[in-house]
Amino acid sequence: MGDPGAGAVLEDDAVSASGRAPSPSAGATRAPGMKRAHFRFYAELNDFLPRARRGVTFLHEFRGGPSVKDVIESLGVPHTEIDLVLADGESVDFSWILRDGARVSVYPVFESIDVAPLARVRPAPLREVRFVLDGHLGRLARYLRMLGFDARWRADAADDEIAGVAAAEHRIILTRDSGLLKRRIVTHGYRVREADPRRQLVEVVRRLDLFRAFAPFRRCLRCNDLLETVRKEDVVADLPPRVRERHDAFRRCPSCRRVYWAGSHHRRMERLISDLLAERARPSAEGAAGDAGAPGHEDREPRRGA
């Protein structure tokens, strides 16, 4: 995505030698026709910024009248990660036109700060939590299905298809690609930071506060369909001999016909769920460089066998 309004960040203004944010008058002489605005991003939004711009106020030059959404995304932050934008201390929506001299503070989704009186830029939460994941997150998709979440995934799904499915079926996109989340059609999404699948699961569950929504062992790990309870005599021909002897309760996927029972794999998943619930009591990691900051505080800106 090009930089709206032929904007540019003045790197010399991003941070002083002492590591502090510069004064508004610092930096290069303004080019003819250029406008300037000050930006500050908070908490985990700093993950998307170059190191020199994290946790500090920096100056951005632009032409014309771009929307604040376009400028924010040109700086690298997907709009789906943002819950609140303050311009000169007032909450604004994504369509707000950036003006010369504005001071803009950008905040992620709040978990503990009361921002009820302010105008959040994110759409209302989806009534049902459903996901579509990009091709790199197959293991995470299986884990989410294990917890009972509707998680669509296909290894070869193109970005256009993922965005279209998310819009048509009101799904949250989970991806490692920030660019996918910047598409205009996308309203709900999250860029997964972790690389290890189990750590990804902990990250997503914590970030989206999914603990109360667990409904484990009701979906097929392969197809994502809801499982159906079946009689033992209806599946006995498909069971290994030891399973026939030891188990009497079975469920089957109506799509792929895979049969599930409470075997050793089921017990391993139960332990994983217990570990996840224990994670809930632990303090979450701070976002990279930069405090969570209440609005208006800083700068007065505001497998079978499952």
CA angle, residues 249, 253, 258, in degrees to nearest 5: 80
Q: Per-domain residue ranges for the chain?
A: 4-121, 130-215, 228-270
So what's the pLDDT on residue 180?
A: 95
So what's the pLDDT on residue 106?
A: 93
**β-strand partners of 152:** 132
So what's the pLDDT on residue 292?
A: 40
Does residue 252 contact residue 260 with C-beta atoms inside 8 Å?
A: yes
Dihedral of the CA atoms 213, 218, 221, 226 (nearest 10)?
-110
Helix (H) or strand (E) holding 171: none
Q: Which CATH number fits domain 130-215: 1.10.287, 3.30.1480, 2.60.40, 3.40.50?
A: 3.40.50
So what's the pLDDT on residue 297?
A: 36
Would you identify the CATH topology of the domain 4-121? Ubiquitin-like (UB roll) (3.10.20)
* Rounded Cα gap, residues 214 and 6, in angstroms: 46
- Same CATH topology for 4-121 and 130-215: the answer is no
> Helices (DSSP H) in 133-263: which residue ranges?
138-146, 159-169, 178-181, 197-207, 232-235, 241-246
Q: What is the pTM of this model?
A: 0.65
Query: pLDDT tens digits, the chain, 306 residues: what are they?
Result: 444 554 554 433 333 333 344 444 444 577 788 999 999 999 889 999 999 999 999 999 999 999 999 999 999 999 988 988 999 988 899 999 999 999 999 998 754 444 455 555 656 555 578 999 999 999 999 999 999 999 999 999 999 999 999 999 999 999 999 999 999 899 889 999 999 999 999 999 988 888 888 889 999 999 999 999 999 999 999 999 999 999 999 999 999 999 999 988 888 888 888 888 887 767 655 443 334 444 443 333 333 344
CA angle, residues 156, 157, 158, in degrees to nearest 5: 110
